[in-house]
Amino acid sequence: MAASGDKVSVIICAYSDDRREQLHRAIASVLAQRSKPTEVIVVIDHNTPLWLDVFAAYPRLTVIVNEGARGLSGARNTGLRRASGDILAFLDDDAIADPYWLARMLPHYDNPSVIGVGGRVLPLWQVDRPRWFPEEFQWVVGCSYRGQPDRIEPVRNPIGCNMSFRRTVFDLTGGFREGIGRTAADAAGCEETELCIRATQAMPGALILYDPQMSVHHQVTAERAGWRYFRKRCLAEGRSKTQVVKAVGAQDGLASEHRYVMRVLPAGILRALGDSVLKLDPWALARAGGIVFGLGYTVWGYFGARLNRAWRQA
């Protein structure tokens, strides 16, 4: 229970047979929380064999099927409709929550201005971390990245792997917008970004906090550690941002990205160049190149999607 007595529902969404073992680890991490949730809801996205497996393995949990459109947004909406909690916490099926995840999260909700709380997402690399992979782009693998706060601060939106909201957010906004975000193997995202912007637009003065001590570990497969996925995810992020801008406007939809592009990425390039000279790091130039190419692919995805939409509407 939260310090305020609020009921807490933890929602985990899953879709892939390949992640069965990871899903079981995610569920186990929630059941091992020092601060116990009121309920744990597992939503299976259009995969009957996986639903049967999880339903049989966890008879005391609420294991249901996605009643909405295929994809993460539909699955999350199904979970929140079934949830009874005042606080709804979301954990990815390939993430492992720290034992104090909920204990760290819930006291923030004693502040009535706080409508959401997210935390740090630490990568669990299945293979050695690629030496060319810039920390500024760890969002590509769903993890916290260089440039995020290192202390408790308000943010526009948390990372979807590790986030929570008051139920009133969903009562007001209607939930995650379907048509935005991940669907099966599609690398799209931003459904939580769009939701958070709509929520704060509708609730002036509301706060969404980032607490780096509220942590989870996100498993990063070998496939996601490669350049091909890096490129795919950057392009998909750009495409997703066009949908966010269309829904909430460019000023709010790209405010955090402006700071990231103008401050975080240039600092990352300079840091990498400095490492190549001062530390004689042969991979530092590759990391600088990763930042440049990652930004280029993301911008390409954004403007390519906008031009494609304009062409179809012409």
pLDDT tens for each residue of 29-88: 999 999 999 999 999 999 999 999 999 999 999 999 999 989 999 999 999 999 999 999
Q: Which residues of the chain have pLDDT under 70?
A: 1-5, 181-189, 314
User: What CATH number was assigned to the domain covering residues 8-227?
Assistant: 3.90.550.10
pTM above 0.75, yes or no: yes
Which is it for strands 87-92 and 62-65: parallel, antiparallel or unpaired? unpaired
| Placement of tokens 């009643």 in the chain | 67
Nearest to 85 by CA among 105, 113, 56: 105
Per-residue tokens: 258: 């402006």
Task: With beta carbons less than 8 A apart as the criterion, state whether 186 and 301 touch.
Answer: no
Q: What is the pLDDT of residue 239?
A: 92
Give exposure, 232-271, as e/b (b: 16+ Cβ within 10 Å): bbbbbbbbbbbbbbebbeeebbbebbeebeeebbeebbeb
Residue 5: per-residue pLDDT: 66
CA 154/CA 309 separation, integer angstroms: 33
